[in-house]
Amino acid sequence: DAGVIQSPRHEVTEMGQEVTLRCKPISGHDYLFWYRQTMMRGLELLIYFNNNVPIDDSGMPEDRFSAKMPNASFSTLKIQPSEPRDSAVYFCASSFTTYEQYFGPGTRLTVT
């Protein structure tokens, strides 16, 4: 079975531009998580969904960040406008009812 799929794998953009990261969870999983990882702050949970509904978005840093999950097989994380401090690796993970989460390959975002 395919694992969690993320696109793009790398994104380089200029400050002020809109960035959209995409995720396809493992088929049948009912939880989807968005994380951000930096050297300074480690792995941080941004938001997670259960059955396509946002459950906890307390980790979303500010209004420039938004996430949607229009259906069970697709989610987006959008940053508008992007800033250099948003540079990080963004991971999507999914799980089925249990707490065992499986991570995608990540998107490395660089904002110049």
Partner 1 sequence: QKEVEQNSGPLSVPEGAIASLNCTYSDRGSQSFFWYRQYSGKSPELIMSIYSNGDKEDGRFTAQLNKASQYVSLLIRDSQPSDSATYLCAVNTPYGGATNKLIFGTGTLLAVQP
Residues 6 or more apart whose Cβ sits within 8 Å of residue 68? 75, 76, 78
For the CB of residue 108, give the shortest distance to partner 1 in the complex, in Å.
9
Please state, in angstroms and rounded to a whole number, the distance separating the CA atoms of residues 108 and 110.
Answer: 7
Dist CA 53 CA 37 (whole Å): 23
* Residue ranges in 29-48 that form contacts with partner 1 under rule CB under 8 A: 31, 42-43, 45, 48
Toward partner 1, which CB reaches closer, 4 or 19? 4
70 binds partner 1 (CB under 8 A): no
Q: Can residue 12 be called a binding residue for partner 1 (CB under 8 A)?
A: no
Q: Interface residues with partner 1 (CB under 8 A)?
A: 31, 42-43, 45, 48, 50, 55-56, 91, 95, 99-106
